[in-house]
Structures are given as C-alpha cells and as structure tokens.
Homo-oligomer: A and B are copies of this chain.
C-alpha cells in the first residue's frame, strides 16, 4: 500500500471515531433501532416507554444528529426525528476496509510461511 493511500485511510479513520462513539451507548442504539424501522417520531414519543427524562433523550438525539445518523425537522410544536442511513453505510465500508486489510495480512503471512 502506498503512503498516500494509507494517509487517506487515516483521514477517514479520524472521521469515523465520533460515529462509532455515537453508537456506543445502549440508549442511543435503542433510539436508532426505533427510528430505522419506521416513520419520524417526536421527542415525547421517543421518551414514552423509557426510564429516562425527556431531556436525557433529547441529549442523546442531539448526539445522534451531530453524527448524522438522525435528522430533525421542526413541525409545529414538536420536532420530529428521522433515521438517516448514509453514515451507517460509510461505517460498513470502513469495517469492510478493516476486514480486507486483515485478509491481506493473513495471505501475506501465509505466503511468507510457505516460502
């Protein structure tokens, strides 16, 4: 791999950490699970059934929004949150890259042993 390619990957990596971090919380994963399987929901709706306060849920939603996993639109007095799939796709690509590098490393090691 060229140095240029590697630094490009490093650049991508930098951007990925906050995304992973945003998903690294039970409450937020639960919110994503709710939103990815249906229509936009309001904060109050998303708070119902949770043990947390509305404000806590709001904070989590803002984190997800900053990471781009979710988008909010104000509609009257309520703000609706909707799932946004792109970051998830990017994350999958990144994980594919990691797996791919690992496979290449394995085959390099194998050919080295067989030599």
| With A95-B92, A96-B92: A17-B36 Cβ-Cβ less than 8 Å | no
Copies of this chain per assembly: 2
Alpha-carbon gap, A18 to B17, bound state (A): 14
Alpha-carbon gap, A33 to B98, bound state (A): 7
**Which residues of chain B are within 8 angstroms of A9 by Cβ–Cβ distance?**
33
List CB contacts (< 8 Å) of A1-52 with chain B. Answer: 1, 9-10, 13-14, 16-26, 29-30, 32-33, 36-39
**Which residues of chain B are within 8 angstroms of A21 by Cβ–Cβ distance?**
20-21, 24-25
Residues of A within 8 A of B (CB): 1, 9-10, 13-14, 16-26, 29-30, 32-33, 36-39, 83, 85, 88-89, 91-92, 95-96, 98-99, 101-102, 104-105, 109
**Could you show 7 A-B contacts with beta carbons less than 8 Å apart?**
A13-B29, A17-B25, A19-B24, A20-B25, A38-B105, A83-B102, A88-B95
